[in-house]
Chains A and B, each alone.
Chain A
Amino acid sequence: MKDLLQVKDLNVGFLVGKREVQVLRNVSFSIGEGEILGVIGETGCGKSVTGSAVLRLLPENALVKGEILYKGKEILYMEEENYRELRGKEISAIPQSPGTSLNPMMKVGNQVAECITGKEIRKRESVRTAVNDIFRRLQLPGKDRCYGNYPWELSGGMCQRVLIGMGMITHARLLIVDEPTKAIDWALRKEVADILLRLKQEMGCAMMMITHDIGVASYVADRVAVMYCGEIVEVGKTEDILHHPIHPYTRGLIRAMPANGFEVMEGFMPSFSDLPEGCNFCTRCRYRDTVCSRPQEMEEADAGHWVRCRRWGEIIKSREEQLCS
């Protein structure tokens, strides 16, 4: 599979007063054409910052180092004007919280239409049909009726679909989807997930899906990256990560799921300003050892399954022993 997006050693820090607080450390991943990468992690682990970095929407006090390649072309340091061409047409975003991301005083159809008209001036009618076409594809109810609705007339799930429509109307090749299921009802979660899947199948667009919802990630994503304290700790095929996790943090996360008996992980996520030495997870880890106080590198434990833990070999061994006994 050809890589559409490559992120190499991305480091992001924020200037707080005169001090720099490092939020992302050596984040590297790639997304292939038509592939969905799920980025999972807890609140404040840096997953949204990663998304903003790709979209170049970080606030001004951010210090960015590293490389982001889109179709092999460097985009992180490219001229703002050239990047603006790319953003929207090639790379697009679906923001979180449908409640606040839509303008309440504007018809939803016009809000979606604005995404095209801003770029190329087309005839009104053709824009309208394009929007209605998108709405139909997203299965928004009522034949062409949603166009004239205001956001508050629609339910949360419908607003979420309108937002998805805004992201895909320009036929972008890469979508950054931020928490698609956060503010909506449990029963609608699957509906939204199905729409994302269909988008991928019909239009072949790749996605970076940022979420804390492991269920959605497992349903939609082809590959999953797990983030903890600004680092990717494990990345690989969805099946591998969620069913055969290696990194102690991922294992803890999976065990904490209600269906697995909500086992509690020891300790809390440290804040970015006081991370432990070496492995960020070492203070909470059951497998900690002396090697854990040194910086950890990503190592390939299995084909395409990378782990940021030096003790992955022993962990696999103990897992197999557990299975045998």
Chain B
Amino acid sequence: MSGETEKLIRIEGLIFSYHHEDGTVADTVIDNVSFDIEKGSFTAIIGKNGSGKSTLAKNINALLLPAGGAVYVKGYDTKDPEHIWDVRQTAGMVFQNPDNQIVSSIVEDDVAFGPENLGVDPAIIRQRVDNALEAVNMGKFRNKAPHMLSGGQKQRIAIAGVVAMKPECIIFDEPTAMLDPKGRREVMEIIKELHEEGITVILITHFMEEAAMADRVIIMDSGQVKLDGTPQEVFSHGKELKEMSLGVPMAVELAMRLRDDGIDVPADVIDTEKMVEFICQYR
């Protein structure tokens, strides 16, 4: 396979700025960012509020258009109005607030909304809706009203709505920020499963524990990419992360302390499971 075809998303020197109401001054939110996303990968983008991570996500989905540089999704320039629907169908998006992205008062009708917009044949929509609801374990709730569901369930419906559009990539914009721990676990479980089924996942989050599940972590701060690598590589920069007001998972913190104490903890100990495995070697 050639390297070119594997790259689902290419971001080249992206610059984005919001204009003030008077139209004169502008805040640069994204400042010359470039990276590629490979097909089938799982990338976590981390940064504190105002770091530009959500703005970046919206640029990939053509909800926002670059002020400078370019974003290509499956080869389509997001600025090209001809292909805007191809871009959005390829790279679906799930937002933070589960309530404010569900259109219909019946679960299955909401899931059908995307495919309907794409003009898919009714019989195929039916099939896709059923499959998507099964994929998020919400088949039983197809006829329920969204406001009767828990936050985690609502967010899974929102995910099903995107899955039914058959995207190659799903961008999750802080999907668990408003959920309780149970909802958070449910949603992360679904994200993992979707990735295993071959969907390219971009997860915007500020939870380091969630980032540990990805195979690539990008740290953003003041509109720029500060760190980019595997979770191991990124978490090994503990001090820099703290300077950017980001924490590290407990296991990483503990591993760092143990290394300072002279214990040779391998670099891949980045979550509790691996830490437990490591300690058990001394049993």
Q: Do A and B actually bind?
A: no
